[in-house]
Chains A and B, each alone.
Chain A
Amino acid sequence: MNRLLLTSALVLAANGALADEIRVLNWQGYGTDLDWAIAAYTEKTGNTVVHEYFTSEQEMLTKLRTNPGAYDVVLINSAYTAQAKDEGLIDPIDSSMIQNFADLDPSLTGNEDLNPGGALHGVPWTWGLTSIAVNTNDFAEMPTSLSVLWDPQWKGRVSIRDDGLEAVQFAAMALGQNINQITDLDAIKAKLTELLPQMTTFWSSENDWNQFMSAGDFAVATYWSGSASRSQAKGLPIAFVVPEEGAIGWLDGLSIPSTSTHKEAAAAFIDWMVDPAFYVKWDAEGAPVSSNTKALAELPETSFNRKLVEDPATVARVQFMKPVSDADRETYLKLWQDLKAAQ
């Protein structure tokens, strides 16, 4: 009897050692939580995956701070990687544990924001653009300039995301300023003051955006490239436009919290996330651009992302977002709140 108990205890312990449960912290519906992807990972490694979600970068950081040990993989936008590293929330990445690492775009793995202090702290996963998307039923010809947001013809059918930083960055681009080095905040305030009466409502999530667009509330609205490809795949009559003034570029990395207790399983999960087999399938459902050059080469010719990255003129116009200081962030938030309160 005792021996039976002992063996069963041993079996349980052995199982525990082999099969880890890793906890992933990400935006909801953003790649890592696809059912088939988790099933494939579990089949390959025996580990299971549990998800937790955040709705803003600040919430992500707060969750990492307040729940040490609770997460094994976390998605961090490159503009926040340095902050997370400085607070001691994430560990450097051991690239030898990521088998696909050699295929990742060297300009992304060498991205200075992902390498705070000279060490890689986030495996570049995907990148994309924040630009504008238009309803193709309203636009016979695609707009070429951001000024379409200010065009009186579309008054009441324009939308941007309810985010002070992004609003300021769009106004900066429209005025020809660098989004990472804003020089004339007064001009931006004036430009946004003109923009607000044009708008119908703010959007806050992809789901929101899709509903407003399909109901005809939006003619032109800011949008994320990855979401645009998903919305197109769902059949919405939209086109993603990179205007001549440029677009905001963002880069997302996958990091391992320093308090993680399943670092090996976490590295294996990240490896699967940058695997071409995963990406090609994800791209068909609508995804941002992969960091894996081999994966991009495997995409079909008609893929949204393939067309996006193959146009060098588009890529050249992208202004990649740098980390924003807390003081600047607060200034933008205040400006945005004042403008909204005045409505």
Chain B
Amino acid sequence: MAMTLAGRDRRRALALLSPAYLWLTVAVFLPLSAMAFFSFLSDVPFGGKDWHATLDNYRAFFQTATYATLLWKSLKLGLIVTVVSVVVGFPCAYVLAKIVKGRSREALFLLVILPFWSNSLVRIFSWAIVLRGNGVLDRAVNAILPWDVKLNLMFSPTAIVIGLVHSYLPYVILTSYLALQAIDDSLIEAARSLGARRRTILWRLILPLAAPGILAGAVLIFVPVVGSFMEPRLLGGRVGTYYGTVIEDQFVAVFNWPLGAALSFILLAVVLAILAAASPILRRART
């Protein structure tokens, strides 16, 4: 009797899960397999071009230092953007979760999520208007300060970081918010009644308990930023060549899909390796 029930349960679970798995197969697994297939070809397999299987695309990564240099540059960018986002986003999430209540919290939430509702290109172009030499920021600063300042942040690594932080900040705010919400206020009160100072409460209580949320947000930011191409291209100008822009070039400008696919898979492998290396920390944070 128990056996048949378990069997029926399994069948029901399968029926309920199948749409999700079907979706994953069609939208994730098939395109990824196609790209994996491309990455081992000598040329794109359509339009009557000659092609054969090869490892040259992966070899190309190691033949020059260019790709490795760019990958390192992109990883550093990912790290900087993640750290800045956490430093800016965590206090924001704390205020939302523990300090403001009711209506004003809803309003603040709306402001946090608002960037998600606008097209990312629109966001980048508005930053271009703000950061450009003699742009909005330049004029505002010059209107306040008595001496002449030339900021001109446009087309610099700083501009790229600003654009990316703005795009990805909501992730870390939302995940940290959820983690902070789950912390029972009475724990904090207990700590305070036992004489813990504010800094001790933050370091020994709140941060460890909120760590899973912060880390989840950090991972959500780090992975896409390493492969980002639009922000570096539009805000970085001359210095905006990163690993992601080179991959984009392979697909859009020079039509070397196989090399583009191989570079993407190398990026995927590196990112997975980093996450695997960080997984002990991630696991400890969860318990």
Contact = CB atoms under 8 A, between A and B. Distances in A.
Contacts of B155: 200-201
Given A56-B253, A65-B47, A65-B48, A341 B132 contact: no
A65 B46 contact: yes
A58 B254 contact: yes
Contact of B255 (A62, A337, A342): A62
Nearest to A58: B255
Contacts of A62: 44, 47, 255
A341 B255 contact: no
Given A201-B155, A215-B132, A217-B132, A338 B66 contact: yes
Contacts of B240: 201
Of A197, A217, A333, A341, most B-chain CB atoms within 10 Å: A341
A202 interface: yes
Given A199-B238, A217-B132, A338 B255 contact: no
Interface string B251-263: 0111100000000
Given A59-B255, A215-B134, A341-B66, 9 more contacts: A64-B47, A66-B47, A87-B47, A199-B238, A200-B237, A201-B240, A216-B133, A334-B66, A343-B239
Nearest to A215: B132
A201 B255 contact: no
B48 A196 contact: no
A196 B134 CA distance: 23
A201 B237 contact: yes
A216 B134 contact: yes
A340 B46 contact: no
- Chain A interface residue number, banded: 20 to 34
A55 interface: yes
Contacts of A202: 237-238
Interface of A: 55-56, 58-59, 62, 64-66, 87, 196-197, 199-202, 215-217, 333-334, 337-338, 340-343
Contacts of A199: 237-238
B230 interface: no
Contacts of B236: 201
Given A62-B47, A87-B48, A217-B133, A333 B241 contact: no
A343 B245 CA distance: 14
Contacts of B49: 65
Nearest to B236: A201
Contacts of B154: 217
7 contacts: A58-B254, A65-B49, A202-B238, A216-B134, A334-B64, A341-B73, A343-B238
Contacts of B241: 337, 340-341, 343
Contacts of A334: 64, 66
Contacts of A58: 253-255
Nearest to A329: B254
Interface in B186-202: none
Q: Nearest 3 pairs between A and B by C-beta?
A: A65-B47, A201-B237, A340-B241
Interface string B204-243: 0000000000000000000000000000000011111100
B46 A66 contact: yes
B68 to A, nearest CB: 10
Contacts of A333: 254
A341 B68 CA distance: 10
B153 interface: no
Contacts of B69: 341-342
Contacts of B73: 341
A194 to B, nearest CB: 13
B183 interface: no
Contacts of A59: 252, 255
Interface in B1-58: 44, 46-49
Interface in B61-80: 64, 66, 69-70, 73
A337 B253 contact: no
A341 B252 CA distance: 18
Contacts of B70: 341
A84 to B, nearest CB: 12
A267 B132 CA distance: 48
B246 interface: yes
Given A62-B255, A337-B246, A338-B64, A196 B238 contact: yes
A324 to B, nearest CB: 13
A201 B240 CA distance: 9
A199 B48 CA distance: 41
A343 B48 CA distance: 38
Interface in B134-190: 134, 154-155
B238 A201 contact: yes
B59 to A, nearest CB: 14
Contacts of B66: 334, 337-338, 341
A200 B154 CA distance: 9
A65 B48 CA distance: 7
Nearest to A64: B47
Contacts of B134: 215-216
